[in-house]
Structure 1
Amino acid sequence: MNEIVSNIELVNRGIGRKLIFISRSDSTLRSHFPLEINTIIGKMFGENGSPGADAVFLCPAFFEGGRITKNNTHYVCRDKNCIPASETEFAHDTVFGYRTSFLPEYIEEKTKGAVKAADVGSVTLDMLRSADIKDIINYLLSLKNEKYVVVNAENYTDLNRFSKAVLETIKRDKKFIFQSGASLVKSITETHDKPLIEGNQFDIKGNGVIVVGSYVKKSTEQLEFLKKRAALDILELDIEQVLEKPGSYLELLLDRVKNKDMKRTLVIATPRNEKKFKSREKRLSAGRKISEFLARIIEEFPGKPSFIIAKGGITSHVVLADGLKIDKARVMGQILPGVPVIKLPVNHRFGRIPFVIFPGNVGEEDSLFKVYNKFRI
């Protein structure tokens, strides 16, 4: 994160734009908050002696995934049934779990009391829907001393009004930092909707690879739905072998893959039951090793897939960055709402195949099957 902020500031010296830093995180409140925020603030303001941020906004809304914030409480919705995020499986994550989805108290919990719930501000739905835009701007102008503020939003109409006020306020030299879900990025950059991508937009000539690292319930449901309806080769990892004998186990798996010769689309998946560990640190360490192992499979993959689908946010990142060695790519669009697709560079060893970044907590039971089906030849 330090390197990212430094590089952006370096580039901006020759451009002279007003910078907005948004820490794009998980819309189910699983993240390194407030570590990333503190790192950005420390790098931006701590090294040059300038005043700190005026405000830090927490805006986890992700409408395409059914995540909304109302009355300062964050909800996960499915089929118009909304429940507080703290009552979902995501709150019980062994690394990023939390006790409350009432965001002022969530902020107090995650900052270990450094920020009190009573001191957290709020951009309310009433403010966004009934106030004159000047009143919202005046509220934002009044913020100072790294004030933490919750942003409520149920739809893009709410969020676009907030974004408009933010952009106007930043012109007046207010310094804001954001921790957000995906929807704020779309809103504040005024990105318009585009038609969903279809498989026939790519030159698909064979079978592909589906890497499922995410173990949340939604990912498991989607994987099971896919397995019942498609003729696939399934390769489920033995986690004990991954952690204890990664080198020899990798050779064994690559031999198996080579023997299959891509006659069917190959699914490489972690077990659906999460392995228990004695401490958070050991869980994090094991998670990194498993992610690295998935990346190595793709890095040394003996065949040439016609497409790759990575299920899980961290899985998508490590496969793309470490397995495929991609450091930049062009986003083609979305194949389903909240599911982006990039095309690999023309000089890549796999050619310009599509790579689907499929977050673990996004979609319905049949969504993974729908994406796979779009690539069927």
Structure 2
Amino acid sequence: MAATSSRQPKIIVLDDDPTGSQTVHSCLLLTRWDVDTLRIGLADAAPIMFVLTNTRSLTPEDATHVTREVCQNLKIAIAAENIQEFMIVSRSDSTLRGHYPIETDAIAEELGGFDAHFLVPAFFEGGRFTKASVHYLVVNGVPTPVHETEFAKDSVFGYTHSYLPDYVAEKTKGRIPADKVERFLLSDIRAGSRQRLQRLHDNQCCVVDAENQGDLNQFAADILAVAAMGKRFLFRSAASILTALAKLPPQPIAAAEMSKYMRSPKAGVAIVGSHVKKTTEQLENLLKAANTVPVEIEVARLLADSAQSELLKQEALAQVYQAHAQGKTAVVFTSRQELVFEDITTRLAFGQSVSALLMAIVQELPNDIGFLISKGGITSNDVLSTGLNLPTARLLGQILAGCSVVKTPADHPRFPELPVVLFPGNVGDAQALATVYNRLAIGIS
């Protein structure tokens, strides 16, 4: 048996939108994956790093290409930084939406030799847990199998099973039959899994139960112990397992006191792109909060004429600047009506057009805003990579369970040291967006 290492491996997370960091803090988020940028992340002192691939917004072909490119550059960067021990996580949605198994297949082919890959979709801060291999979402206090929720009806990533072995069989089109999926049940995890983990080989597909963070802390401890003996594991997960793998202490500033990070006592701006039902409810409540001003963008105008983009941008910015001059927070949001498209490719392309419009607005926001709230996973990724043009950003912590805050660097040409909230579309109760705003608005003079 190989000797056991006591060193903490570097946890390298390929995040299909930028919200997988929603349970950790004090690490780097990378929006680019050239070798030099990856080396910055690998050399950073934090035990975990995130590469924001944004693949959930891409076609399957483009998602595969991006994932392969990241892995190929990672091999070079890992060798250059002489990283001896690392672990790869393909972080995706806790409601089972995303390019599975496309991304884990690409990672396995490029960085091969994995003994197993684990599906760990639990995300406790968002009310998602897994029991008896069935994945649940707590809806209005009621644990509900995820295939019965709106997320299972997603027009791009829909599915029909909450029982994870059946989900795997469905998504792999039978390549991995349900009866060939290894199930790690609560009783297994709580009793300890090291001997079983040591027997895994040939990239065995495994699904993992978890009802609370203690379950994943136990499982991660076993994973790390067995990995230190030479076993190689790959993860397809939501965010909660990352907390356990990285073993981070509490964040430096408590969630309720995040206004301390504000660089200016002036009002901020919120950008809302997500269209899930929960976001719409949260938006309605945010607009009831004091000193907020609605700025609605009628994106249907883009369908009729793409040349409308510049006009929509100028109209929105005029309203934003007017609100800011009055000391109020402009809430920029896309119209809520559901548009119908002839196919998935057309829908994704339109989504990219809408995002480009939103990012053009972000780039021209008042340069003395006190904070920026970005609502929606894909929207948040684009805010960091395009709107703010950040190759890396430092994660400060969580302002609300599941909602990260990052800060731009001091040398940013337009928005230095700006706190930016990355708020997933499907996280929090109806008041959550208003709660985040109110925690920051305390710092407005």
Do these two structures clear the TM 0.5 threshold for a shared fold by scoring above it? Answer: yes
Moved more, 169-178 or 247-256: 247-256
Q: Distance in 1 between matches of 2:102 and 2:368?
A: 39
Q: How many residues align?
A: 367
Q: Deviations over 1:140-188 (max 9, x none)?
A: 1111122110010011111111111111111222221100000011111
Corresponding residue for 1:108? 169
Corresponding residue for 1:37? 104
Give the direction of change, closer, same or farther, for the CA distance of 1:128–1:35 in structure 2 (3 Å limit).
same
Q: Distance in 2 between matches of 1:273 and 1:91?
A: 20
Work out whether residues 197 and 333 of structure 1, in 8 Å CA contact, stay in contact via their aligned partners in 2: no
Corresponding residue for 2:235? 178
- Amino acid in structure 2 at the alignment position of 1:242: L
Deviation, 1:78, is: 4.4
Work out whether residues 262 and 371 of structure 2, in 8 Å CA contact, stay in contact via their aligned partners in 1: no
- Amino acid in structure 2 at the alignment position of 1:170: A
Deviation, 1:204, is: 3.5
Residue 201 of structure 2 is aligned to residue 166 of structure 1:
no
Corresponding residue for 2:26? none
Q: Among 308, 316, 331, which residue is 1:253 paired with? A: 316
Corresponding residue for 1:228? 288
Deviation, 1:79, is: 5.7
Corresponding residue for 2:248? 191
Deviation, 1:288, is: 1.6
Is the partner of 1:228 in helix, strand or coil?
A: coil
Moved more, 167-176 or 66-75: 167-176
Corresponding residue for 1:48? none
- Amino acid in structure 1 at the alignment position of 2:371: F
Work out whether residues 197 and 334 of structure 1, in 8 Å CA contact, stay in contact via their aligned partners in 2: no
Work out whether residues 254 and 302 of structure 1, in 8 Å CA contact, stay in contact via their aligned partners in 2: no
Corresponding residue for 2:75? 9
Q: Among 393, 397, 405, which residue is 1:341 paired with? A: 405
Q: Distance in 1 between matches of 2:83 and 2:295?
A: 51
Residue 204 of structure 2 is aligned to residue 147 of structure 1:
yes
Residue 322 of structure 2 is aligned to residue 322 of structure 1:
no
Deviation, 1:197, is: 4.9
Work out whether residues 262 and 305 of structure 1, in 8 Å CA contact, stay in contact via their aligned partners in 2: no
Is the partner of 2:104 in helix, strand or coil?
A: helix
Is the partner of 1:126 in helix, strand or coil?
A: helix
Q: Deviations over 1:62-85 (max 9, x none)?
A: 111111000101101146421011
Give unmatched runs, 5+ long, in structure 1. Answer: 46-51
Q: Among 369, 373, 376, which residue is 2:434 paired with? A: 369
Q: Distance in 2 between matches of 1:158 and 1:190?
A: 14
TM superposition score normalised by structure 1: 0.93
Q: Distance in 1 between matches of 2:301 and 2:177?
A: 45
Work out whether residues 256 and 439 of structure 2, in 8 Å CA contact, stay in contact via their aligned partners in 1: no
Give the direction of change, closer, same or farther, for the CA distance of 1:126–1:261 in structure 2 (3 Å limit).
closer
Q: Distance in 2 between matches of 1:118 and 1:106?
A: 12
Q: Deviations over 1:187-224 (max 9, x none)?
A: 11112333325113434321111011111111111111
Residue 267 of structure 2 is aligned to residue 207 of structure 1:
yes
Q: Distance in 2 between matches of 1:284 and 1:81?
A: 32
Corresponding residue for 2:95? 28
Q: Distance in 1 between matches of 2:101 and 2:93?
A: 13
Is the partner of 1:185 in helix, strand or coil?
A: helix
Deviation, 1:102, is: 0.9
Work out whether residues 212 and 311 of structure 1, in 8 Å CA contact, stay in contact via their aligned partners in 2: yes
Q: Distance in 2 between matches of 1:9 and 1:337?
A: 34
1:113-152 equivalences under 5 Å are: 113-129=174-190, 131=191, 133=192, 136-152=193-209
Moved more, 21-30 or 278-287: 278-287
Corresponding residue for 2:422? 357
Give unmatched runs, 5+ long, in structure 2. Answer: 1-66
Q: Distance in 1 between matches of 2:182 and 2:88?
A: 19
- Amino acid in structure 2 at the alignment position of 1:152: D
Q: Distance in 2 between matches of 1:258 and 1:358?
A: 23
Corresponding residue for 1:240? 300
Deviation, 1:112, is: 1.6
Q: Among 188, 203, 214, which residue is 1:157 paired with? A: 214
Work out whether residues 372 and 420 of structure 2, in 8 Å CA contact, stay in contact via their aligned partners in 1: yes
Work out whether residues 204 and 375 of structure 1, in 8 Å CA contact, stay in contact via their aligned partners in 2: no
* Structure of higher RCO (CA pairs closer than 8 Å, 6+ residues apart): 2
Q: Distance in 2 between matches of 1:38 and 1:293?
A: 33
Deviation, 1:372, is: 0.7
Residue 133 of structure 2 is aligned to residue 72 of structure 1:
yes
Work out whether residues 120 and 147 of structure 1, in 8 Å CA contact, stay in contact via their aligned partners in 2: yes
Work out whether residues 312 and 360 of structure 1, in 8 Å CA contact, stay in contact via their aligned partners in 2: yes
Give the direction of change, closer, same or farther, for the CA distance of 1:201–1:350 in structure 2 (3 Å limit).
closer
Q: Deviations over 1:91-140 (max 9, x none)?
A: 111111111111111111111221111111111101112x2x3xx11111
CA-based RMSD of the aligned residues comes to: 1.7
